[in-house]
Structure 1
Amino acid sequence: MFVIAGCLVCTGAGAGAAMVLKSPAQVAIETAPPRPNILTAPVVRKVLAQSVVTRGKVTPVQSFDITSSGTPKEAGRSVVTDVMVKAGQKISYGHAMVEISGRPIFLMKGSIPAYRDLMPGAKGRDVKQLQDALAGLGYSLGGDVSGTLGKGTEGAVKRFYRSMGYAPATAEVTVQQPTPSASSPKAESNSDPLKSETVSVFPLAEISFVDAPSIRVGDVKATVGSEPNGVLLSVTSGSLTIDAGVASYEKGLIRPGQDVEIFSEASGKQAKGKVASVSQAPTKPQSGESGQAAETYAVHVKPSTALPSELDGADVRLTIVAASSRDEVLAVPSSAISTGADGKMFVTVRRAQLEHRVAVRVGMTGDGFVQISPVNDLDVISQGDQVVVGIQPSDSSGKS
């Protein structure tokens, strides 16, 4: 009985020892770091495009600023009392845009900027411009000579103001009275030859001349109650284009005619265009990350189709296709390219868990890929082959 028990004890101790004792080889295996995971990516055939990404601002071909030229003489203070337009709105000639202290600023057709009050007796090109503008709106000038503001043009000014709901602006002028003849029984030797007269005028402060085929309101800065300092609003004409800038190291990649992808993050709208021009000289320097001024070169982009008006003034992302392989080429991710001690480049092809280094020539790069071709004709790399792009360590549990 005691012999049997002793054997059982020995047997148990042996089993426990077997569970505790391990060979050095087993210990080395269990304490070795986990094998890393080999990351691969497929070889592909694709058209490579080298791109430059920058920001641009959508602007019209022409832009005109509307400013306040003064305060109506009867007004107590200069203040914006009404804004009759909104951004993006199409407007026509004869339209009142803003009121300053109750008086309007009209948009009229003309290329000569307003620079004086136009009143009876005035002569010049700006008078002819006003006459043409009024006639274009349907107001008769009577028999006035072109370029001379006479009674006919004055009457047209009065009718225009009244049709727009405003009293005509007036001014006091001094006129020369006819000298009575000596034979006239009413002649008085002491009569005053000068006389004050109230006339209708088109004041400088109430007119802005713009000459464009179609006009749209751009930025509106004026608000009711604000002082009319600086630019009140802008009006634009022509199709929308895009002005951008690229760094000096990117300038050599950009040339007219290149394709451009246009994207507005704010609206989600996309469009295509072409590079229209690239400046040869840098524009005003911009501050770089280091705090030093960085040169930029102006790039003008013309959309292939008309951009929607809501993009006027928008900040957009531009992707300029600087170069393209045109045809599909054999390509791998740029991270698959390695350089050996001899300075030659290679990729590591992984087939059936075996890795084979292949020396390659590289071509153009774009979109994160590199064009490749084997140096040795006996090396074959095909679309779909897996190439090593990195190694990812495993954690102690064996999970990647």
Structure 2
Amino acid sequence: MSARRKAGVVAGVVTVGAVAAAVTIFNLPEAESSSGGPSGGNTVANTADIQKETLVDRETHDGTLGHGSTTTLAGRGSGTVTWLPAAGTTISRGKPLYKLDNKPVVLLYGTLPAYRTLRSGVKGTDVKQFEKNLWALGYRGFTVDEKYTAATADAVEDWQDDLGLSETGTVETSQIWYAPTAVRVDSQSSENGAVVQPGAELLKYTGTALVATVDLTMDAQRLAKQGAAVQVGMPDGKDLPGRIVKVGTTVQEGQGDQEDTTLIEVTISFSGAPKGVDDAAVSVDFVASERKDVLTVPVAALLALAEGGYGVQVVDGATTKIVAVETGLFADGKVEITGDGLAAGMKVGMPA
């Protein structure tokens, strides 16, 4: 008796260009018997081997090189802008980010923003963060701790003198700006001669390291795992190891009557990029899942069982039998399977 045809759908993932897609299997043969008993006398024209291998759910997506997302610097003081750094300038600890009334506002390293005036008698983690910077800049004579002492104030006066500021021994929030590391000026938001008030946007900056950025659609969000390893394909053909360091969302505005689209923005750090590749296009290989030393067959070898679930037709010479299987990872046109008595090297029938 010839096998009847039945449509079935199995959810899975394969790589199709750079876009994630569901594996849809049409016209799966319905097995005549799922008891596992032999059904000898059948001739199977096409077979495939059950293999033991590492199955990887991998996808490649296009990305761009740059310096990551921008941070807006809004001034804390009022006055006339007398100096702004040019786009592309790298600013490190102790260097001015801009000048108001010809007085520098200095970059310091830290994650806690300046939120109060620091003076003798003040205590807190913000004091320790500031004192670490002062020490790193070469000013001494105080203990780096959470106490702003007279000794700290003396060191601050020396620092202010070197900057050309009034030697007050206190640190106003309008004199400093904190960032985790050195920054790269992305663009100017004001200009020399502009009269500004507190809160005015003066410039935008990024990190200094070159990173790759990839926008993923929501159906590929399984790929966006913080800390996951990836491979970055450079314009010169070299692949560099990278790691996902940031996962966020961005909104792509729809054209015309189309709705806006929410995308997952993935930032990837890596090292070893050749010079002069800023804003270049790259490819990024993501690995969503990996299953080591599992039994696999081609997805097309799956049979839709009449009682539900899936099986494979095991072929042993002229003898065949249907074995029910549990499916696991789908990738690259193959599927992970487990079932009674199955082993690597066995042959399974393939639909004509």
> How does the TM-score come out when normalised to structure 1?
0.46
Distance, in Å, in 1 between the alignment partners of 2:140 and 2:245 is 49
Contact 2:246 2:268 in 1 (8 A): no
Aligned residue identity for 1:157: V
Residue of structure 2 equivalent to 1:163: 162
Are residues 87 and 289 of structure 1, via their aligned partners in 2, closer, same or farther at CA, if it must alter by over 3 Å? closer
The answer (yes or no) to whether the contact 2:243–2:270 under 8 Å persists in 1 is: no
- The aligned amino acid for 2:141 is L
**Is 1:110–1:129's contact at 8 Å kept on the other side of the alignment?**
yes
Q: Does residue 232 in structure 1 map to residue 203 in structure 2?
A: yes
1:306 CA displacement? 3.2
Within a 5 Å distance, the mapping from 1:1-400 to structure 2 comes to: 50-51=17-18, 54=62, 56=64, 58-60=66-68, 65-71=72-78, 78-83=79-84, 85-142=85-142, 146-164=145-163, 166-168=164-166, 170=168, 200-212=169-181, 215-221=182-188, 222-228=190-196, 229-237=200-208, 239-247=209-217, 261-263=233-235, 272=239, 283-289=249-255, 291-298=257-264, 300=266, 302=268, 305-307=271-273, 314=279, 316-319=280-283
* RMSD (Å), alpha carbons: 4.3
CA deviation map 1:213-257 (0-9, x unaligned) = xx24231314312345224242525x3222222446777999977
CA gap of 1:292–1:163, structure 2 versus 1, over 3 A, is: same
Rounded to whole Å, the distance in 2 between the matches of 1:87 and 1:218 is 5
SS of 2:165 mapped into structure 1 = coil
More helix by share: 1
Q: CA deviation at 1:156?
A: 0.9
Deviation at 1:204, TM superposition (A): 0.6
Alpha-carbon distance, 1:132 to partner: 2.3
Indicate the residue corresponding to 1:377 in structure 2: none
Change in CA separation of 1:118 and 1:318 when aligned onto 2, cut-off 3 Å: same
Q: Which moved more, 1:123-132 or 1:299-308?
A: 299-308
Alignment: residue pair count: 230
Change (3 A) 1:276 1:257: same
Per the alignment, residue 330 of structure 1 pairs with none
SS in 1 for 2:145: coil
The secondary structure found in structure 2 opposite 1:79 is strand
* Contact 2:81-2:192 within 8 A present in 1 as well: yes
TM-score, normalized by length of structure 2?
0.51
Q: Which of 1 and 2 has greater Rg?
A: 1
Q: Percent identity?
A: 21
